[in-house]
Copies of this chain bind each other. A is one copy, B any other.
Amino acid sequence: MTYQADTAFRVDFEPIGRRAEVVPGETLLAAAQAAGVGLVAICGGAGVCGDCRVRLVQGELSSATGAERELLSSQEREKGFRLACQAVPLSDVKLDIPPESLSAPQRLQVEGQEVEMEPDPWAVPVDIEMDPPSLHDLRPDYARLQDAVEECGLPRPSAGLSRLIDLSEQLRTQGWNVRLALRGGEIVAVLPRGTTLFGLAVDIGTTKLATYLVELAQGKVVAKAGAMNPQIAYGEDVVSRIAYTNQQRDGRKILQEKVVSSLNDMVVDLCAEGGIAQDQIVEAVVVGNTAMHHLFAGLPVQQLGMAPYVPAVSEALDVRADEVGLVLASGGYVHLPPNIAGYVGADHVAMLLASGLAEAQTTTLALDIGTNTEISLAVGGRLLSCSCASGPAFEGAHIHDGMRAAPGAIERVHIVGQDVHLHTIADELPVGICGSGILDAVAEMREAGILDRRGAIQDGRPQVRSRDGKPEFILAPAATTGHGRDVVVNRKDVNEVQLAKAAIRAGIEILLAEAGISAESLERVIIAGAFGTYLDVSSAIRVGMLPQLPIERFRQVGNAAGAGARQMLISGKRRLAASQLIRRIEYIELTIHPGFTAEFLEAMYL
Contact = CB atoms under 8 A, between A and B. Distances in A.
Interface of A: 133-143, 161-162, 164-169, 172, 297-300, 302-303, 307-315, 317, 319, 323-324, 339, 341-342, 587, 589, 591-592
Contact of A135 (B136, B167, B591): B591
Contacts of A589: 135, 138
A139 B323 contact: no
Contacts of A136: 592
A227 to B, nearest CB: 25
Given A142-B315, A298-B161, A308 B135 contact: yes
Quickly give the copy total for this chain. 2
Given A141-B303, A165-B298, 19 more contacts: A133-B310, A135-B591, A136-B592, A138-B587, A138-B589, A140-B310, A140-B315, A140-B339, A141-B310, A141-B311, A142-B315, A161-B323, A161-B324, A162-B323, A164-B297, A164-B299, A168-B299, A168-B312, A169-B300
Contact of A167 (B161, B309, B312, B591): B312
Contacts of A324: 161
A164 B323 contact: no
A164 B312 contact: yes
A331 to B, nearest CB: 13
A166 B138 CA distance: 44
A585 to B, nearest CB: 12
Contact of A313 (B142, B310, B314, B317): B142
Contacts of A341: 138
Contacts of A172: 303
Nearest to A303: B168
A326 to B, nearest CB: 12
B162 A314 contact: no
User: Which of A140, A302, A341 gathers the greatest number of chain B CB atoms within 10 Å?
Assistant: A140
B143 A314 contact: yes
A260 to B, nearest CB: 13
A285 to B, nearest CB: 16
27 contacts: A133-B308, A133-B310, A134-B308, A135-B592, A136-B592, A137-B308, A138-B308, A138-B341, A138-B587, A138-B589, A140-B310, A140-B312, A140-B313, A140-B339, A141-B311, A141-B312, A142-B315, A143-B313, A143-B314, A143-B315, A161-B298, A161-B319, A164-B297, A168-B312, A169-B300, A169-B302, A172-B303
Contacts of A141: 303, 310-313
A161 to B, nearest CB: 5
Contacts of A307: 135
A265 to B, nearest CB: 23
Contacts of A319: 161
Contact of A311 (B140, B310, B313, B591): B140
Contact of A161 (B134, B297, B315): B297
A300 B166 contact: yes
Contacts of A134: 308
Contacts of A592: 135-136
A161 B313 CA distance: 10
B164 A313 contact: yes
Nearest to A172: B303
A161 B326 CA distance: 14
Which 5 pairs, one residue from A and one from B, show the smallest C-beta to C-beta distance?
A140-B314, A140-B311, A168-B300, A168-B312, A142-B313
Contacts of A169: 300, 302
Contacts of A587: 138
Contacts of A167: 300, 312
Contacts of A303: 133, 141, 168, 172
User: Which of A136, A161, A319 gathers the greatest number of chain B CB atoms within 10 Å?
Assistant: A161
A556 to B, nearest CB: 31
Nearest to A587: B138
A169 B306 CA distance: 13
Nearest to A132: B308
A342 B138 CA distance: 9
A375 to B, nearest CB: 17
A143 B299 CA distance: 14
Nearest to A256: B165
Nearest to A169: B300
Contacts of A299: 161, 164-165, 168
A386 to B, nearest CB: 12
A377 B252 CA distance: 56
A566 B41 CA distance: 55
Contacts of A139: 310
A142 B136 CA distance: 51
A161 B299 CA distance: 8
A347 B311 CA distance: 44
Nearest to A591: B135
B165 A300 contact: yes
Given A168-B303, A300-B166, A315-B143, A310 B161 contact: no
Contacts of A168: 299-300, 302-303, 312
User: Which of A298, A310, A319 gathers the greatest number of chain B CB atoms within 10 Å?
Assistant: A310
Contacts of A166: 300
A558 B65 CA distance: 73
A430 to B, nearest CB: 43
A305 to B, nearest CB: 11
A590 to B, nearest CB: 10
Contacts of A310: 133, 138-141
User: Which of A142, A302, A311, A312 gathers the greatest number of chain B CB atoms within 10 Å?
Assistant: A312
